[in-house]
């Protein structure tokens, strides 16, 4: 099967122009009749930057990927509504039937902010350099899995080859991780790129990056090649954007309500009282589940451990009350997790029945497995207590809720509080019963880095499946990458989701939702497909403060 997207871009541009004329959509009700005003500085507050690197090719920190989206463009873009890949710096592409060869036609007239043209050699330089980063780009490693070469066909055509099928690569080209930097940037060392020596083709230019302290971006006046998903076809409305870092949640929200900043962008969902506070002061909340691996616990099925028994795993699956978790740890109406993927992930299929809360069914399974209730309310078999070891860095309310849900059925969930480094050691050594997994990417292949023994060395992959289960899981992951035919990928990932939930290879706990608090001035806010910030259409109404 071949896909060709040339000409597609013209239609989408037309749609964008029409919707601008109609002036509908997400401009917000206060500004429905007014056209966007140009100017002003958007002030965004994150919570932290622990990776301390701004180079999009190396960044895995989700907040910094929101910074990078304003600076750097990608070959393609992904529609947040449908997950479809649409043209951007590439006007079209063809993919070989075996998903090993991708040919991109590049857009004319795109330049980096240092004046260099974005052409085929520039794309080759970027992909080669990103692949060469190796471990310095943990995401790049999986996005470019099997990368063999990029060939310059002519000035505006490149062919990327893989030595094994990589059907997820098309989505990868839409990410900031595979954003194209100027050839001059790749003459800098990776360390200097991390520290801010990067030039790209985005609507904003990076002026200052001090990790965890301040990022300053200025508008590029001659920007004219936005993604078709953007309404504004030219330079950004904002003059500049600053990103600051505020660790304490109450100070963050207070800064928003006292108009010291315009956007709060924390990692943990904004609490319900804080959301109400923001709304009371005229602000609003935007949210989008982070696509990719949902927040989940993965078992250690090594023989001798309690979760080696399928019936115990199925019991645990039934004992997690996900509706209560979403409503109490977060708030009523918070999305309830329904798969190993968050609902915004392409090819997500709900496994609601298999994930239903069923304590009676769980008790029957545990009885059958020989774990019988003792006088102290816990279950025992051959004198051994049914204890599950869960290494955590802090016993959070959600962990304690699951601990309680397990205790009601007679399972002791032991929350062992350790440092982050110690937990890495425990996960690697298999010294646990439940390990944590989550990862953001708007393609289901991302679960492979947590569960697929064929590609991942992680403890969550190594210990969660016996050889027979692992063979089946790896085969399904491979099927998902073999062809870019959506029907075939869809079948593989639907079967994968059903299989890992039913056999207890993973226990989904909750969706990860990116919540953002906006001041009343912010208009035209948009999320990218991966729930990052996109500011092309964003503008500030009212007086500058």
Closest approach of another protein to the CB of residue 437, in Å: 9
| Alpha helix stretches (DSSP H) within 49-137 | 62-71, 120-132
* Closer residue to another protein in complex, CB, 406/505: 505
What would the two tokens of residue 50 be?
A: 């622990």
- Going by C-alpha positions, the residue among 409, 385, 388, 410 that lies closest to residue 399 is 388
Question: What DSSP line would sit under 114-141, residue for residue?
Answer: TS-B--HHHHHHHHHHHHHTGGG-HHHH
* Residues 175-194 close enough to bind another protein by CB under 8 A: 191-192, 194
* Closer residue to another protein in complex, CB, 104/295: 295
- Going by C-alpha positions, the residue among 102, 119, 101 that lies closest to residue 111 is 119
Pairwise CA distance, residues 129 & 183, whole Å? 10
- Going by C-alpha positions, the residue among 414, 453, 451 that lies closest to residue 434 is 414
What would the two tokens of residue 514 be?
A: 């990116």
49-57, 166-174, 302-310, 325-333 -> range binding another protein (CB under 8 A)? 49-57
* Closer residue to another protein in complex, CB, 388/455: 455
What SS3 string covers 5-18?
CCCHHHHHHHHHHH
24-32, 161-169, 210-218, 311-319 -> range binding another protein (CB under 8 A)? 210-218
* Closer residue to another protein in complex, CB, 65/313: 65
Return the SS3 of 210.
strand
Q: Phi and psi of 258, rounded to 5°?
A: -100, 15
Q: Phi and psi of 310, rounded to 5°?
A: -55, -40
* Closer residue to another protein in complex, CB, 254/361: 254
457 binds another protein (CB under 8 A): yes
Return the SS3 of 451.
helix
- Are 35 and 22 in contact by the 8 Å Cβ rule? The answer is no
Question: What DSSP line would sit under 311-345, residue for residue?
Answer: HHHHHHHHH--HHHHIIIII-TTPPPP-SSB-TTS
What would the two tokens of residue 280 be?
A: 């009371």
Per-residue contact flags (x/-) with another protein for residues 87 to 126, judged by CB under 8 A? ----------------------------------------
* Closer residue to another protein in complex, CB, 267/384: 267
135 binds another protein (CB under 8 A): yes
97-105, 379-387, 405-413, 434-442 -> range binding another protein (CB under 8 A)? 434-442
91-99, 167-175, 381-389, 438-446 -> range binding another protein (CB under 8 A)? 438-446
44-52, 146-154, 324-332, 371-379 -> range binding another protein (CB under 8 A)? 44-52
Contacting residue, 6, 187, 384, 422, with another protein by CB under 8 A: 422
Q: C-alpha angle with apex 302: 301 to 304, nearest 5 degrees? A: 105
Q: Residue with structure tokens 């009350």?
A: 321
392 binds another protein (CB under 8 A): no
Contacting residue, 42, 62, 118, 538, with another protein by CB under 8 A: 62
* Closer residue to another protein in complex, CB, 121/196: 196
449 binds another protein (CB under 8 A): yes
Pairwise CA distance, residues 433 & 118, whole Å? 50
- Are 13 and 231 in contact by the 8 Å Cβ rule? The answer is no
302 binds another protein (CB under 8 A): no
* Residues 236-275 close enough to bind another protein by CB under 8 A: 244-248, 250-251, 254-255, 257-258, 260
* Closer residue to another protein in complex, CB, 203/459: 459
Q: How many residues bind another protein (CB under 8 A)?
A: 49
Pairwise CA distance, residues 265 & 267, whole Å? 7
Closest approach of another protein to the CB of residue 210, in Å: 8
- Are 540 and 42 in contact by the 8 Å Cβ rule? The answer is yes
* Closer residue to another protein in complex, CB, 42/211: 211
Closest approach of another protein to the CB of residue 459, in Å: 6
279 binds another protein (CB under 8 A): no
- Interface residues with another protein (CB under 8 A) are 50-53, 60-62, 134-136, 138-139, 141, 191-192, 194-195, 210-213, 244-248, 250-251, 254-255, 257-258, 260, 419-422, 424-425, 427-428, 438-440, 449, 456-459
């Amino acid at each position: 099967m071949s896909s060709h997207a040339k000409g597609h871009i013209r239609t989408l541009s037309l749609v964008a122009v029409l919707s601008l004329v109609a002036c509908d959509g997400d401009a917000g009700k206060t500004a429905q009749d007014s056209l966007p005003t140009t100017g002003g500085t958007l002030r965004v507050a994150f919570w932290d930057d622990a990776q301390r690197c701004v180079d999009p090719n190396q960044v895995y920190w989700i907040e910094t990927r929101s910074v990078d989206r304003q600076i750097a463009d990608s070959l393609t873009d992904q529609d947040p509504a449908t997950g479809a890949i649409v043209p951007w710096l590439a006007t079209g592409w063809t993919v070989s039937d075996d998903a090993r060869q991708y040919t991109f036609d590049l857009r004319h007239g795109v330049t980096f902010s240092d004046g260099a043209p974005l052409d085929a050699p520039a794309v080759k330089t970027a992909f080669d350099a990103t692949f060469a980063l190796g471990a310095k780009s943990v995401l790049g490693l999986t996005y470019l899995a099997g990368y063999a070469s990029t060939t310059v066909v002519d000035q505006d055509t490149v062919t990327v080859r893989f030595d094994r099928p990589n059907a997820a690569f098309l989505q990868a080209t839409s990410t900031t991780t595979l954003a194209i930097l100027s050839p001059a940037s790749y003459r800098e060392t990776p360390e200097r790129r991390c520290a801010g020596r990067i030039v790209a083709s985005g609507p904003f230019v990076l002026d200052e990056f001090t990790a965890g302290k301040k990022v300053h971006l200025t508008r590029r006046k001659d920007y004219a090649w936005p993604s078709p998903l953007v309404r504004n076809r030219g330079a950004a409305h904002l003059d500049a954007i600053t990103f600051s870092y505020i660790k304490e949640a109450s100070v963050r929200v207070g800064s928003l309500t006292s108009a010291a900043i315009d956007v709060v962008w924390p990692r943990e969902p904004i609490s319900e009282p804080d959301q109400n506070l923001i709304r009371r002061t005229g602000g609003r909340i935007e949210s989008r589940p982070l696509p990719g691996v949902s927040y989940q616990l993965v078992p250690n099925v090594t023989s001798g451990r309690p979760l080696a028994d399928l019936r115990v795993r199925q019991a645990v699956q039934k004992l997690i009350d996900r509706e209560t978790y979403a409503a109490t740890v977060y708030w009523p109406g918070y999305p309830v997790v329904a798969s190993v993927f968050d609902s915004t992930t392409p090819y997500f299929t709900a496994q609601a029945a298999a994930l239903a809360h069923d304590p009676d069914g769980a008790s029957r399974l545990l009885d059958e497995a020989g774990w019988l209730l003792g006088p102290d309310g816990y279950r025992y078999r051959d004198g051994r207590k049914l204890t599950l070891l869960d290494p955590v860095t802090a016993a959070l309310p959600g962990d304690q809720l699951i601990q309680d849900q397990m205790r009601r059925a007679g399972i002791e969930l032991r929350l062992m509080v350790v440092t982050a480094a110690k937990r890495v050691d425990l996960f690697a050594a298999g010294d646990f019963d439940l390990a944590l997994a989550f990862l953001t990417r708007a393609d289901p292949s991302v679960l492979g880095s947590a569960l697929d023994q064929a590609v991942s060395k992680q403890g969550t992959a190594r210990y969660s499946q016996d050889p027979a289960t692992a063979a089946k899981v790896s085969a399904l992951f491979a099927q998902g990458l073999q062809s870019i035919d959506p029907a075939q990928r869809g079948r593989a990932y639907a079967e994968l989701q059903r299989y890992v939930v039913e056999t207890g290879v993973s226990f989904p706990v909750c969706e990860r939702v990116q919540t953002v608090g906006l001041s009343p001035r912010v208009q035209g806010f948009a999320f990218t497909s991966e729930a990052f910030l996109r500011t092309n259409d964003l503008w500030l109404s009212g007086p500058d403060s």
